[in-house]
Chain A
Amino acid sequence: MLRFIIRRVLGFIPVLLAVIIVTFFLARIIPGGPFDFIGDKSLPPSVVKNLEAKYHLDWPAWKQFISYMVGDEWKIGSFTVFDLDPNAPAHSYGVLRGDLGPSFRYRGQTVNDIIGRTFPLSAQLGVMAIILGLVIGIPAGIISALKQNSWLDYTATFVAVLGVSIPSLVMAPLLIWIFSIELGWFPAATWGAKPPYIQNMFLTPGFDWGNYFIHAAMPVFALGTGLSATFARLMRASLLQVIREDYIRTARAKGLHERVVIYRHALKNGLIPVVTVIGPMFAGLITGTLVIEQIFGLNGMGKHFVQSITNRDYAVVLGTILVYTIILVFSNLLVDLAYGWLDPRIRLDA
């Protein structure tokens, strides 16, 4: 087990490396630089030159890459291991040392600062949406399967198809329109902006959780409905298949109470396909947070990511992509572990 995890984590290294290399060089070959425009105005060439020199954008690509990976200098005490730019103080320590470098656009801010500031909101949004999806979707799928072909099943199935068919792109503004504008029940664009803050909630005595959830409700709901519909559909289909399989019949024949049968055998096996889609779903979740943050005007990592693409702030783009990739590969690992637990036929260390 531990060996499996270690092997898998080691396997992440080439993936992460490939992602860094591909995005780094793709970003470099995209015509146009980060300082071509500020807003709609183009800067004088001399200013652009100075700025580019400041961020080493005038270096050849390989040198930039090395500097991005390991930093532009490394000193141990007074001993210099290497220094790519002896005339200037270090401006980055490199990805390998946990430094994603300075932002090109936000003067004085590092990519680490920006991600540290914006990631918590995105993470909370994503996690709460997945929890909401599971809490609604799994029971709905189970009920649907157990009461197959009842009106309950038909309704749930129909609602679920509706749920997977409404993109968050539509869901989000729709929710704002109905619940914020027409009904005025929930605020639309204030989560994380004003109190309630999204950091240190657990450390703040007397934190106003009610208020927190009121602010979080609509974004989470907009993202979570699609997920719950997907979970419900999958759960129903796989449970139906499992129920029809032999060993369930055998378990019944042994005289176990029907409920026990369902929980013990069917549920565990029925969850397998659900677990397999959670991996790819994380990718969808990331798209989801991008959309939701954009529409709800939330100051999350996704919104920054999109903005940075438009701004050509490659340092931020690269850093964000790296964070996304790490989330993805680790969620895939979790999925595999859950998979092995649910389906003992799959031996992880084989």
Chain B
Amino acid sequence: MAVAELPAHTQLARKPRSLMSDSINRLRKNKLAVGSIVVLILIMVAAVFAPYITTGDFAKQDLMANNAIPHWMLFLMPKGAENYVRFSDKFIIGADDLGRDLWTRTVYGARISLAVAIVASTVSLLVGTVYGLISGYVGGKVDTIMMRIVDFLYGFPFLIVVILLQTYFKAVARRGVGGGFGQAMVSINESMGGMFFLFIAIGLVNWIGMARIARGQVLSIRRKEFVEAAKAVGAPDIRIIFRHILPNIVGPLIVVETLAIPGYIFLEAFLSFIGLGVDAPTPSWGIMISEAAPGIRTYPNQLLPPALALTITTLAFNFMGDGLRDAFDPRLKE
């Protein structure tokens, strides 16, 4: 039997290209995305090695140096600031109104934002994907019921639920609860500076959109003939899910989730801002902004570090998300 004729592009010598390697190549060419990834890695490294690049104590108050700034920052200050500010070059970028080192607090704040980004997105991705996968794959009545639940929850004002949940968690944490389980939770939360309940609250509400998207993806893949081919061969459901459906949907799902990360970071900052986030004195950029905002007329410099850090981080996540989307879903870009 004759070997079928090869189109010119199928030369024998070429290395096989998976869709993945194509996508990664496209991603590499996107300078903004690569730059963002580098920035994010730097932030992550800074967060991990925070004790080594800062004073290491974000709660230490130096009441002799409250609101102090180093000399080089004077240009940032309002006119006439030299008459009232206190100078102290001990602080790289100054101290807050309790005399805590802003640099240390900003770097430690990255831990919170990144932890929220990672945990909330992982929880939402996992829960949403599993839910959507079951709903879409099993289909029929199960699907109808599961989607009714999601539709119902979708109409819910979730921000408000998160606020209430956090209020509840905070009150529980402050007063303690009876049960051993509750107590265990509270102490976990305490050891994490109040982040644990925050994760639960944010994670609890954000899987819903993900579940919808995942189900849509499953439905579109499930109809594809290669899934039928696998069935025809006798492949069990587990294999079909893990070999055929998941690999074809994770890409878009991760992209969507990446683009949702800035939202989680905002949410944490916002909750901390209104006092429902992490517990003081754990530094969160949201708390720092809320602490700096009232004094903005006299000490605008204190607003700058958390504001910049927050913006740069979300900016980097957005650029990375856009880059991933363009690389993995090239239909959206010429």
Give the B-binding residues of A (Cβ under 8 A).
Answer: 14-15, 18-19, 22-23, 26-27, 29-32, 148-149, 161-162, 164-167, 169-170, 173-174, 176-177, 181-182, 237, 240-241, 280, 283, 286-287, 290-291, 294-295, 306, 309-310, 317, 321, 324-325, 328-329, 332
Contacts and interface: CB of A to CB of B under 8 A. Distances in A.
B314 interface: yes
A321 to B, nearest CB: 5
B275 interface: yes
Contacts of A176: 296
B119 interface: no
A31 B171 contact: yes
A167 B266 contact: yes
Contact of B332 (A167, A170, A237): A237
Contacts of A328: 155, 157
Nearest to B308: A170
Q: Which of A165, A237, A286, A306 has the most CB of B within 10 A?
A: A165
A291 B157 contact: no
Contacts of B171: 30-32
B88 interface: no
Nearest to B272: A169
Contact of B78 (A182, A280, A310): A182
The 7 closest A-B pairs by CB, nearest first: A165-B315, A170-B307, A31-B175, A165-B314, A31-B171, A30-B171, A167-B266
A3 B195 CA distance: 47
A319 to B, nearest CB: 12
Interface in B147-187: 152, 155-161, 163-165, 167-168, 171-172, 174-175, 177
Nearest to A164: B318
B31 to A, nearest CB: 12
Given A162-B315, A173-B303, A295-B293, A321 B160 contact: yes
10 contacts: A14-B152, A15-B152, A19-B156, A22-B161, A161-B322, A166-B311, A283-B158, A290-B274, A294-B274, A309-B167
A130 to B, nearest CB: 17
B293 A167 contact: no
Contact of A321 (B157, B174, B300, B314): B157
A167 B164 contact: no
Contacts of A241: 331-332
Given A15-B155, A30-B167, A237-B332, 6 more contacts: A30-B168, A31-B171, A161-B318, A166-B315, A286-B160, A321-B164
Contact of B310 (A30, A161, A169, A283): A169
Contacts of A170: 289, 307, 310-311
Contacts, number: 124
Interface of B: 78, 152, 155-161, 163-165, 167-168, 171-172, 174-175, 177, 209, 262, 266-267, 269-270, 273-276, 286, 289, 292-293, 296-297, 300, 303, 307, 310-311, 314-315, 317-319, 322, 331-332, 334
A313 to B, nearest CB: 12
Nearest to A29: B168
A96 B310 CA distance: 44
Contacts of A164: 262, 318
Nearest to B259: A164
Contacts of B262: 164-165
A314 B177 CA distance: 21
Contact of B175 (A19, A23, A32, A287): A32
A264 to B, nearest CB: 23
Contact of B297 (A26, A169, A181, A287): A181
Contacts of B157: 19, 283, 286, 321, 324-325, 328
A324 B334 CA distance: 41
B322 A173 contact: no
A22 B164 CA distance: 10
A180 to B, nearest CB: 9
A165 B163 contact: no
A324 B267 CA distance: 18
A309 B160 CA distance: 11
Q: Which of B155, B270, B310 has the most CB of A within 10 A?
A: B155
Q: Which of B156, B171, B175, B262 has the most CB of A within 10 A?
A: B156
A148 B332 CA distance: 12
Contacts of A181: 78, 296-297, 300
Given A30-B167, A283-B157, A310-B275, A173 B297 contact: no
Contacts of B300: 177, 181
B269 A167 contact: yes
Given A19-B157, A173-B307, A324-B160, A167 B168 contact: no
Contacts of B174: 31-32
Contacts of B152: 14-15, 18
B270 A287 contact: yes
A161 B167 contact: no
Contacts of A166: 311, 314-315
A307 to B, nearest CB: 9
B312 to A, nearest CB: 8
Contacts of A306: 274
Contacts of A321: 157, 160, 164
